[in-house]
Structure 1
């Protein structure tokens, strides 16, 4: 094939998602993982649907999401989740949902930094409800909409829940529960479908939501130095991983956690980091 013929040929549908509907939840702004994933999927030809927290957020998202359909869903309210399922069924009619992206997390840090043992009960339970149980609630509500043969559900976790980052606090145990939920949902759905469940665990990202974490900037700068390439993970790189796990190309991957941290997890004893720490 000549270069001219190659340029004239239609792009290869590598993800095999062209024309297929995918629901992306949790889009907050242009810097969010949800939006980068939605844009990547749309560029690949997928029919992207969005679900956001409030009607006010929907109006903001509509300013940059083009012709994507935007639903409102408060994942802390079961009635709202059920309404999303109804609205989505009306919108898709008989077309099965190829994928669901769960990019939802919330933590109330209004009390400031506290040692973990002083975590407010209400804040912890709210974080579990919104950031973790919402995956189960959404999956259950949409169980008859997801394509039983090739449907894929991907949630956004963190690179590791075994590192006691004090400023991240109780959200690490919440994400650990999310990671475990992925395994149990994969097993549960396997009784009646081939729907897959996986998690993507990024290293520290530069997003608007992360800015609300106490002391995040210092942690971000340290994490960047700890990566093997000395460059932080980017949100588009995370979106690439999410899109792959949504795609039939990853059909053999189920109940897994894909870490995207640019090698940070193997580099804590880097000679430069150690020298700076002990000098």
Structure 2
């Protein structure tokens, strides 16, 4: 084992789907810094191009980044992208949606939207890219679940269900493709300051309540998730599959509990 280069990704091609901003953008930057050649795929092509500009690729020790417009709800577009990108060593998927409503208030259209982005898109992506990885006997797929896969609160029903489903989907994929060298893992963030959490961040009381619920007493920055991605794509995790890497500041450990004076 070459421990000096354990996390290096030189010569490897990785696609980050959802790389136009937030966690996806920081994942791209981390992977490029480790030498990967990264495809930044997103429906927001302008945002993907901005990520490319911020990635800092092209130096002696870094890889490269290129932008690609992609609608993950269009299976034909995904197949066309696969043909254009060529073989992948890694696939990172950060796309997702959340509609915060009580169960009684949810519409079927909202349900379908959340499930489509948080689950159906993964099915299309894995069906398209995993077989090629299996043919080459190697590959790493990293999906983004959430602490809500394990701990819920009012208003998170469909989101939580979709993330719990994603964990089990990735575990099943790990079982099916593991014998052929393809690994599947999930990252489960806690509360992260991204556009997806704008609704919470705009409410000072809500924002502070979430900050106080973790062991670290603060929200995560998007860049604090990038290390988990780099680890799961790299050779540092070659015996890790079917796992969930929780990066939640200790939220699920302390369960947001009141700390009484004893």
- TM-score computed with the length of structure 2 as normaliser: 0.85
**1 CA distance for matches of 2:240 and 2:12?**
20
Contact in 2 for aligned 1:13/1:44 (Cα 8 Å) = no
What's 1:78 paired with? 75
Q: Does residue 16 of structure 1 match 2:8? A: yes
Matched, 1:106 2:97: yes
Unpaired segments ≥5 residues, structure 2 = 57-63
Matched, 1:131 2:134: no
C-alpha spacing 1:170/1:16, structure 2 compared with 1 (3 Å): same
Alignment map for 1:168-187 (pairs within 5 Å) = 168-187=156-175
Change (3 A) 1:176 1:204: same
Match of 1:97 in 2: 88
In 2, distance between residues paired with 1:175 and 1:246? 21
The residue correspondences of 1:23-62 to structure 2 (distance < 5 A) are 23-29=15-21, 32-58=22-48, 60-62=50-52
Deviation at 1:188, TM superposition (A): 2.1
Counterpart-to-counterpart distance in 1, 2:66 and 2:84: 11
Number of aligned residues: 251
Does the 8 Å CA contact 1:198/1:256 hold for their aligned counterparts?
A: yes
8 Å CA contact 2:101, 2:156 repeated in 1 = no
Structure 1 gap segments, 5+ residues each = 1-10, 90-95
Question: 5 Å matches for 1:252-267?
Answer: 252-267=239-254
**Paired residue secondary structure (1:15):** coil
CA RMSD, 1 decimal: 2.5
Greater helix percent: which structure? 2
Question: Which residue matches 2:233?
Answer: 246
| Whole-Å separation in 2 of the counterparts to 1:59 and 1:69 | 7
Change over 3 Å in CA distance of 1:58–1:231 after alignment to 2: closer
- TM-score, normalized by length of structure 1? 0.80
